[in-house]
Amino acid sequence: MERQNPAHILEEDKSLLQAWSFRGAPVVFPTQQSGLFLSALLPQPGKPFLYTQGIGLALDFLRLPFDGLLELLVQTMPKLRGVTLRGNAVLDQTLAGWMAPRLPEDKRPLWEAPSMYGAPDRQTVDGAVVSFFLRPCPLMGLVVFGKRKAGQPTFTAPVTWLGHPLAPAQDAARQLVRSYVHCYAPAGIQGFISWLGCSPAQAKRLWGCAAGEMEPVLLDGKRRFVLSDDLDMLLSPPPAQREMHLLKGHDPYLGLPDCEVVLEDKAWQRRGWQTVSNPGVILRHGEVCGIWTQRKKGSVMDIAVSLRRHLPFKPLEELLQATRCFREHASEP
């Protein structure tokens, strides 16, 4: 079976979709699961949206309410149908320009004033407001990323990109929490807060949607949770297909918020998860047993290893040699 280029899957096949999602960041996810990554993050009526806290300075300057201003943008968003805009700044300013006629006349000079967010020479208040509001807009199915052009992202309406609108998914919040716990268990709500980038109150509401489908477990004396459906598999896991793995730093497996699940030692956690750059890790039966780094000397790839647990020498040496050969070949011109 021919391996598909990821860009083709995202930009041509479109079985993957990109939009601002959790943490207010651009995320790529299966198009059929858009509800988990978008509408699941919508607040309950009367509750605040996620990822818009910084907008307060602009609202105070404009003396306009959050809900009223967001509604003006929502009313404007249909103009994006059939239109593709390239670059974040162009998207912000275009939408802001479309909103301007809907504003009270006395607010328009303030709307076009220099931004108070650190780049007044490049951004105006209207662009800053729209930039904040573009975090909740995808959750409502109003805007998605299109195909990159000249190294920049493009943006358009979902119906323009996919040929159909994005409908809110039923039970999306519950499915989001179930997917998180299934992926990261044994999991706790603090890790969920960190992963989602939301307030404790927002996380607690979402977590409660699936709380009845979880079982508590203890991990190093701390209470964590596992899906009831996954408990048997956790207690009696199938045999590993490979005894050891070498993972590069920032591998998705290492992105779990509760890193003590795979590495309980705090000192080694600081070595494995660093602020600037992370080393690779040696994984055995799901546990981090050491770290590795690489450095090229001429045409030879030098790999240094530091172990926290004894490992069988021969399988480790074979894995290191295979990795060394692969990286030397991959770095050839």
- What is the per-residue pLDDT for 169? 81
Here the tokens at position 233 are 């598999």
Residue 113 has pLDDT above 80, yes or no: yes
Q: Which strand (E) or helix (H) includes residue 71?
A: helix 66-76
Q: What gap in Å lies between CA 205 and CA 48, rounded to an integer?
A: 13
- What is the per-residue pLDDT for 3? 57
Written as one letter, the residue type at 37 is F
Q: pLDDT tens across 196-224, in order?
A: 998 899 899 999 999 999 999 998 888 99
Residue 1 has pLDDT above 50, yes or no: no
DSSP string, 79-93: GGTT--EESHHHHHH
CB atoms near residue 48 (< 10 Å)? 15
Q: pLDDT tens across 33-89, in order?
A: 999 999 999 988 888 898 998 999 999 999 999 999 999 999 999 999 999 999 999
Written as one letter, the residue type at 299 is S
What is the model's pTM? 0.85
Indicate the pLDDT class of residue 330, thresholds 50, 70 and 90. low
Secondary structure, 3-state, 39-66: HHHCCCCCCCCCCCHHHHHHHHHHCCCH
Residue percentage of the chain with pLDDT more than 70: 97
Phi-psi category of residue 25: left, alpha or beta, with phi > 0 → left and psi -120 to 50 → alpha = beta
Residue percentage of the chain with pLDDT more than 90: 68
Q: pLDDT tens across 160-205, in order?
A: 999 999 987 889 999 999 999 999 999 999 999 999 998 899 899 9
Mean pLDDT of the chain: 91
Residue pair 130/98 in contact (Cβ under 8 Å)? The answer is no
- What is the per-residue pLDDT for 331? 57
- What is the per-residue pLDDT for 122? 87
Measured in degrees and rounded to the nearest 5, phi and psi for residue 49 equal: -75, 155
